Amino acid sequence: MVPSMGIWTIPILSDGQFCPICLEKFTSPRQLPCLHSFCEHCLRDYITTIARSTEISSNDFLCPVCSAVTKPANRDKPLGEWASLFPNNPFLVGKVDRFCEVCLNSSGKSAKRAKKFCVVCEECLCDVCAVCHQNMKISKGHQIITIEEFDNDPENRIKRKRLSEGFGCLEHDNDNIKFYCRSHEIACCATCSFLHHKACEDVLELQHNIPCLLKEINAQKVSKQLDDLKGKLKKFVEINKEIIGILRSQVDNIPTEIRDLRIKVNAVLDKTEKKAKLEGNRIYEEWLIRKQEQNKKCQSLANAIGNSQALLNTVSQYGSDTQKFLVTSKTTKLLHWYTDQVREKFEKLDNIKIRLELDRKMNAALSKDDVGLVKIECQEEVKDLQCISLMIPLQKRTVELSKVIVLKSTGEEKPMYVGMVHLSDGYLLLADYNNKTCCMYDSSYNLITSCILNGQPNDMCLIGNNQVAITIPVTKASVHPGPLHHRRTYSPNQIYTSRC
């Protein structure tokens, strides 16, 4: 039976009589181009289940043993018929139970186990085909013996050898391999030699050139090279095992290092925890009051809207036409005011983040009584609802070159841009490291203006609506000259700069 698990573990068998999938004797063995053979039904189940779930493309699958990419002879056929398109393994005929050659030659028909042998036609036959063979006028007088009689007869050794010779063409299942193309180093049938190797200059007939070809190939040399490759792979596995052992010991040592580090860290963090907690609670209480006040105003506005709606519904149901007109007219005016109030509240909706910011020299402070500088920072951030649709995962995305832009520089040095920001009005802002400048370009990438910075910038990012932060490693100070208010011209006093 074929395993139904999601992961297939294929053993390497030393005895060629058993299928690597079902671990039983072959039945109707099919051979893949990589020379691995499987029962036809096992291969069919494998293709239609596990292999297709880990496919490389829609037209191939991986060999269960060596993971070689395997393509069927006819990709247009359904998956259930792919296994029958591969040729039978002729070498297995003498090792395992033989199968009826008539059934094998019947397209799409699974072979039955052979019970008889025709001495004249030199064919293995099942019981059904043997009866048909004897009933046919052309083969009525042929001698039919059992497979056991055929195997035990020393005079039929040559005929038994014939049964294990010959390869079928992968593209033309009914044709045997008869030619060898030296140009492409491939064996082929007569049809393939005519269709694909007609222009090749050195196509040999195997029957008359096998001794010469065997000398050229030198099977012993190839076998030695294969042994060398296996030895290298064995060495590779041994090295990997050593690496795994080292990694294991390093990983096992991590808890000890962490334990020692935790003792030091806990001592200093316990002191800062109380301070950080008090500061965080203070900020929380402030924002709690503000948010509750906002909610009260929203609830009052919602009550007013509800009252207007209730009055409108009552008048619409019970009032006179004059009352309906007056109330509806008044409610319509209020509707515009309500709309403006709701829009204003959403525009002012702020998202508050309270985070713990540690001093960058925390490691140096671990050996001291004080951890270092710990600051509780409250960062106000306005939600940009338009950006939500752009927050999509990056998996399975590719990046391609869209366009090449040639920009004009104002400095004497060759520019090196270390930061770029697209502004909301379509303008482009670039930070030039070599020339210590910040340049602005319009939507057509024409230079509009530039300003000289106090140092060489390291990076640039957008922190708000037309507000840009530029990192300049000059002094140990943090400056905040002010936001960018203008949309067309910029000066150093209108740029957030952080020197570190």
Q: What is the DSSP letter of 197?
A: S
Whole-number Å distance between alpha carbons of 95 and 14: 13
Q: Where are the beta strands (DSSP E) in 167-250?
A: 179-181, 186-188, 203-205
Residue 410, CA distances (Å) to 218, 346, 431, 455 in order = 71, 43, 12, 16
Rg (CA), the chain: 41
The pLDDT assigned to 397 comes to 47
Q: Indicate the domain borders of the chain.
A: 166-221, 269-389, 403-498
pLDDT tens digits along 359-403:
776 656 655 665 444 343 444 444 443 433 333 334 444 556 667
Burial zone of 154 (CB within 10 Å; 0-12 exposed, 13-18 middle, 19+ buried) = exposed
| Over residues 60-82, mean pLDDT | 82
Closest CA to 184 of 209, 203, 166, 207: 203
Residue 348, CA distances (Å) to 303, 342, 351, 424 in order = 21, 10, 10, 19
Closest CA to 411 of 393, 427, 431: 431
10 Å Cβ neighbour count for 95?
Answer: 15
10 Å Cβ neighbour count for 334?
Answer: 15
Closest CA to 199 of 186, 184, 209, 213: 184
The pLDDT assigned to 173 comes to 60
Give the rounded distance of the alpha carbon of 153 from its chain centre.
Answer: 59
Would you say 423 and 429 are in contact if contact means Cβ atoms under 8 Å apart?
Answer: yes
Whole-number Å distance between alpha carbons of 182 and 412: 64
| pLDDT greater than 50 at residue 313 | yes
Residue 4 φ then ψ, to 5°: -105, 10
| pLDDT greater than 70 at residue 486 | no
Residue 318, CA distances (Å) to 258, 309, 325, 326, 490 in order = 77, 14, 13, 14, 63
Give the rounded distance of the alpha carbon of 497 from its chain centre.
Answer: 40
| pLDDT greater than 80 at residue 411 | no
Classify 433 as helix, strand or coil: coil
Would you say 103 and 116 are in contact if contact means Cβ atoms under 8 Å apart?
Answer: no
Q: Which of 232-236, 253-257, 341-345, 358-362 has the lowest mean pLDDT?
A: 358-362
Residue 382 φ then ψ, to 5°: -85, 130
According to DSSP, the β-strands at 61-62 and 69-70 are antiparallel
Whole-number Å distance between alpha carbons of 149 and 117: 9
Whole-number Å distance between alpha carbons of 220 and 215: 10
Helices and strands: H and E segment counts in the chain: 12, 19
Listing from the earlier edge strand, what are the strands of the sheet with 179-181? 186-188, 179-181, 203-205
Residue 340, CA distances (Å) to 88, 280, 337, 386 in order = 80, 35, 5, 19
Q: What is the DSSP letter of 78?
A: -
Classify 293 as helix, strand or coil: helix
Would you say 250 and 242 are in contact if contact means Cβ atoms under 8 Å apart?
Answer: no
Angular region, 414: left φ>0, alpha ψ -120 to 50, beta rest: beta
Classify 313 as helix, strand or coil: helix
pTM (global) more than 0.85 = no
Q: What is the DSSP letter of 49?
A: I
| pLDDT greater than 50 at residue 130 | yes
Give the rounded distance of the alpha carbon of 254 from its chain centre.
Answer: 31
Q: Which of 140-144, 343-347, 472-476 has the lowest mean pLDDT?
A: 472-476
The pLDDT assigned to 495 comes to 46
Q: Does 153 or 332 have the greater pLDDT score?
A: 332
pLDDT tens digits along 201-211:
888 888 788 77
pLDDT tens digits along 459-484:
888 877 677 888 887 544 444 444 43
Would you say 83 and 47 are in contact if contact means Cβ atoms under 8 Å apart?
Answer: yes
Cα-Cα-Cα-Cα dihedral sign, residues 37, 41, 44, 45? negative
Would you say 55 and 61 are in contact if contact means Cβ atoms under 8 Å apart?
Answer: yes
Site of tokens 């060489």? 456
CATH of domain 166-221: 3.30.160.60
Reported as type and span, the H/E element at residue 350 is strand 350-358
| pLDDT band, very low/low/confident/very high, at 341 (cuts 50, 70, 90) | confident
The pLDDT assigned to 384 comes to 42
Which residues, 6+ apart, have CB-to-CB distance to 432 below 8 Å?
Answer: 409, 411, 415, 416, 417, 418, 438, 439, 457
For 17, the token pair is: 């009589």
| pLDDT greater than 70 at residue 447 | yes
Closest CA to 107 of 84, 125, 130, 133: 84
